[in-house]
Structure 1
Amino acid sequence: MAIVKPFRAIRPTRDKAPFVVTRSYEEYSRKERDAKLQFNPFSFLHIINPGFKFDKKVSGPKRFKLVYNRYLEFLEDNILMKDAMRCFYLYQVEKGSLKASGLFCATSVDDYRQGVIKKHEATLKKREELFADYLETVKFNAEPVLMTYEDNPQIASVIAKESEKYPEYEFTTPDGITHRLWLINEQDTVSGLEAAFEDMSNLYIADGHHRSASSDLLAKRMQAKNPEHRGTEPYNFFMSYLIPESEIRIFEFNRMVKDLNGLSKEAFLMQLDEYFRITNKGSSLYKPTKKHHFSMYLDGEFYSLFLRRKIYEFTDALSELDTQILFKTVLEPILGIKDLRNDQRIQYGFGKHNVIRMKDEIDAGNFSVGFGLVPITVDEIKAIADEGLVMPPKSTYIEPKLRSGMAIYEL
């Protein structure tokens, strides 16, 4: 049974919404970020990069306090406002063939602890603690955890009906994505959505594992400080964006490795032959087509690698994952890469044109070999989570990517 609640969001006033919302801070180049900070006084970047006001880089607890101050200023200047009623917020993003409609809501920390909310990635304790420190100081959550749920006719009917109404926001950002937001606060509809989620056994985290873990840590801290803790306080929940499985888009990350771990090209290919049927595809761009099928670019040529199923043993959902297969058959035993997160010899790339970028990087001598994979599926993510397993880093690139500042949850 999943606990999903409406909440009173802090959000941009209608006239300023297109100017407030931002992509994730890390997605901007420094030049682009500085331009937005200089020429757009309403950008949420001013809140998360408060040192810009003083032309000074700040970090740690000092930055956290300044973030809170900028947040209060945005409220005082009526750039942000707080809704009078608790709402579910229907948020739709659309670009080309991508059209995703989901709900901003409050999800339960206790559900996360009990495994109702399931995860498939490991988190780093240091990052958990840092972000919990941040949340404790700024007292708000502006980046939702992206979760998915099994397609549900009742919820789909509500979303379809509500999206026929005139939206609170509707605007298109320079990257070509159209954003629409509706407020759902009619009591029968709200109760129906809550009941529909209560009937679900599980929700699955798609993106935001560290945000979830940090919210759990924060809740433990706040409970310890509150002798009258009842379990209904805002810190017992965290903001999520819930989207049906059918509307999640999953893309693959390619892998590029700087060297062959001291092996010659011929010796490397011979070692690969133990686990793969290898076919030279020449210099034309080549991508894998199905599960357990990989592409490789080496010394100016593409290769097809088909896993020899009689040699490789499948023991659980993780062992069937292509990113794990590549790690266990090539990256670790042959190329000597044991730490996929921190080893500087490996880099990752994603996107429609990444096979071209991978080829260019290798041709330029920046890397020696690259591997292409097919995208992991929602069913594979769920199987990993259901078995309590953890995917290798950079197994999935998931869309939609959500804007910061569209809706804010006060802790």
Structure 2
Amino acid sequence: MAKIIPFKAVRPTRAIVGLVAARPYQSYTVDERESRMDYNPYSFLHIVNPGYKYHKAIHGEERYKLVRNRYLEFKEDGVFIQDEKPSLYVYKIVNRHGQEFNGIIAATSAEDYEQNIIKKHEDTIAKREQTFKTYLQTVGFNAEPVLLTYPDNDIIASIIKETQKNYAEFEFTMTYRDTHYLWKLDNEKAINQVQNEFDKMKTIYIADGHHRSASSFLLYEDEKNKNTNHNGSESYNFFMSYLIPESDLVIHEFNRLIKDLNGLTKETFLIKLDYLFRITNRGSIPYTPSKPHHFSMYLDGEFYSLYLRKKRYKFNTALDQLDAELLYKTILQPILGIHNLRNDNRIEYVNGRHEMITIKSSVDSGEFKIGFGMCPATIKQIKNIADEGLKMPPKSTYILPKLRSGITIYEF
């Protein structure tokens, strides 16, 4: 029952796609952004940061209008061209660690989002949703797909594999040494087969892009209510997504760094921990947990393992089983006094691609007092939480692949 449709993507030309493609705007430091824009006139950053042209920071709707102008200039200059025929796009990423991701870029249904066929597992911030909705309405395009995942499907996998035997429309490597490939799938029979397989799926899941999908849904509601001739086929009924099978997802954890012990001495803190955890001092050797409900802790120059005393903690929901929630409910909130994981400036997050030595360095520097490591969530946990209508704490997962902006663009 999940609906996907082909669309006429706006794409960079083959010769310069590697120059156009960019990471999400917020992932760059100011110096990185300016350096890339100084030396690369084709970077998509020029579109999303139009104030660069005037050496001035521009905000709000004035910025959105200039984003629209820069985008149209890229089209007028032939940097972007639009496909003549609606297509699905087979997309492959091979990162520097040899991890491979294969999926399909398509337009997915805002109505499916509304009806919970596209399921969520993270909370969104209403203000950010509204801000991005206004942005979308003004600029008229979506340049970064939402990452969705679906149960492994042999028919879809075979169509992807068969398509990849053809000459790729794009093949380029980014400075992060990720190599990207894109094939256009415009064969109607193959498109219908893919659509039929998705139509059999009761649910698919958002892996990354909760705010983008929520904002696209708000755009759909606005435009539908304004259009007296609405029929469901308009472009605003859909948003661009990259759909990959569950087995291709790579899920890392986010580890936690805390700036103080909430006024407690080290000894008092450890005594409070002992009620719910079996604590073992591991000395100076970095310890990484290998099982759910086991945690690593670094404090005062030493690593500790924390094993949950399960007889003293009840698991009532799928969310209770999640280590990020467990750490919050047993240590961060009741002992360290951190109630708002999103806004408390005493906590910071380090994605699990970095080893525990990063936690050690951050604490040893004196910037933080204590650090915690955990095991990553599984796709099964994420799905169970979404199926129960629950939401994970902020920074519970760091999910790969990370997508680039400006490679395929969906116009409203």
| TM-score, normalised by the number of residues in structure 1 | 0.99
Offset at 1:84?
Answer: 0.2
Amino acid in the other structure paired with 1:347: E
Aligned to 1:288: 289
Amino acid in the other structure paired with 1:205: I
Tell me how far apart the structure 1 counterparts of residues 262 and 276 of structure 2 sit (CA, whole Å): 18
Offset at 1:97?
Answer: 2.6
> CA offsets, 1:26-84, max 9 Å, x none?
22222121111111111100000001111111010000000000000000000001100
1:230 alignment partner, SS class: coil
> CA offsets, 1:298-328, max 9 Å, x none?
0000000000010000001001110110000
Offset at 1:353?
Answer: 2.9
Tell me how far apart the structure 2 counterparts of residues 144 and 55 of structure 1 sit (CA, whole Å): 29
Tell me how far apart the structure 1 counterparts of residues 73 and 407 of structure 2 sit (CA, whole Å): 17
Aligned to 1:64: 64
1:299 to 2:309 alignment? no
Aligned to 1:18: 18
Tell me how far apart the structure 2 counterparts of residues 352 and 187 of structure 1 sit (CA, whole Å): 40
The number of residue pairs the alignment matches comes to 411
Amino acid in the other structure paired with 2:182: L
Aligned to 1:235: 236
Amino acid in the other structure paired with 2:72: L
1:395 alignment partner, SS class: coil
- Runs of 4 or more off by more than 4 Å in structure 1? none
Offset at 1:331?
Answer: 0.3
Aligned to 1:388: 389
Amino acid in the other structure paired with 1:36: R
Alignment of 1:304-383 (within 5 A): 304-383=305-384
> What is the aligned-residue identity percentage?
55
Aligned to 2:110: 109
Amino acid in the other structure paired with 1:299: D
Tell me how far apart the structure 1 counterparts of residues 261 and 232 of structure 2 sit (CA, whole Å): 54
2:320 alignment partner, SS class: coil
Amino acid in the other structure paired with 1:324: E
> CA offsets, 1:234-278, max 9 Å, x none?
001000000000000000100011100110000000000011000
Tell me how far apart the structure 2 counterparts of residues 162 and 253 of structure 1 sit (CA, whole Å): 36
Tell me how far apart the structure 1 counterparts of residues 382 and 82 of structure 2 sit (CA, whole Å): 36
Offset at 1:24?
Answer: 1.1
1:215 alignment partner, SS class: helix
Aligned to 1:138: 139
Tell me if structure 1 keeps the 8 A contact 2:277–2:308.
yes
1:273 to 2:274 alignment? yes
1:56 alignment partner, SS class: coil
| TM-score, normalised by the number of residues in structure 2 | 0.99
Tell me how far apart the structure 2 counterparts of residues 181 and 352 of structure 1 sit (CA, whole Å): 26
Offset at 1:351?
Answer: 3.9
Tell me how far apart the structure 2 counterparts of residues 12 and 351 of structure 1 sit (CA, whole Å): 33
Amino acid in the other structure paired with 1:186: N
2:191 alignment partner, SS class: helix
Amino acid in the other structure paired with 2:165: E
Aligned to 2:185: 184
Tell me how far apart the structure 2 counterparts of residues 2 and 361 of structure 1 sit (CA, whole Å): 44
Amino acid in the other structure paired with 1:163: Q
Tell me how far apart the structure 2 counterparts of residues 171 and 309 of structure 1 sit (CA, whole Å): 49
2:321 alignment partner, SS class: coil
Q: Which runs of 5+ in 1 are unaligned?
A: none
Offset at 1:15?
Answer: 1.1
Tell me how far apart the structure 1 counterparts of residues 192 and 217 of structure 2 sit (CA, whole Å): 26
> CA offsets, 1:144-198, max 9 Å, x none?
1100000000000001111111100011111111110000001101111111100
> CA offsets, 1:338-380, max 9 Å, x none?
0000000000001433422211111111111100001100000
Tell me if structure 1 keeps the 8 A contact 2:256–2:347.
yes
Aligned to 1:200: 201
Aligned to 1:405: 406
Tell me if structure 1 keeps the 8 A contact 2:255–2:352.
no
Aligned to 1:82: 82
Tell me if structure 1 keeps the 8 A contact 2:105–2:243.
yes
Tell me how far apart the structure 2 counterparts of residues 352 and 60 of structure 1 sit (CA, whole Å): 34
Alignment of 1:259-270 (within 5 A): 259-270=260-271
Amino acid in the other structure paired with 1:69: N
Tell me how far apart the structure 1 counterparts of residues 118 and 109 of structure 2 sit (CA, whole Å): 9
Amino acid in the other structure paired with 1:44: F
Tell me how far apart the structure 1 counterparts of residues 27 and 317 of structure 2 sit (CA, whole Å): 35
Offset at 1:232?
Answer: 0.9
Tell me if structure 1 keeps the 8 A contact 2:152–2:247.
yes
Offset at 1:14?
Answer: 1.2
Offset at 1:3?
Answer: 0.4
Amino acid in the other structure paired with 1:405: G
Q: Which runs of 5+ in 2 are unaligned?
A: none
Tell me how far apart the structure 2 counterparts of residues 60 and 355 of structure 1 sit (CA, whole Å): 40
1:310 alignment partner, SS class: helix
Offset at 1:225?
Answer: 1.3
Tell me how far apart the structure 2 counterparts of residues 367 and 138 of structure 1 sit (CA, whole Å): 41
Amino acid in the other structure paired with 1:75: K
2:288 alignment partner, SS class: coil
Q: Bigger CA drift: 49-58 or 349-358?
A: 349-358
Aligned to 1:33: 33
**RMSD value, Cα:** 0.7
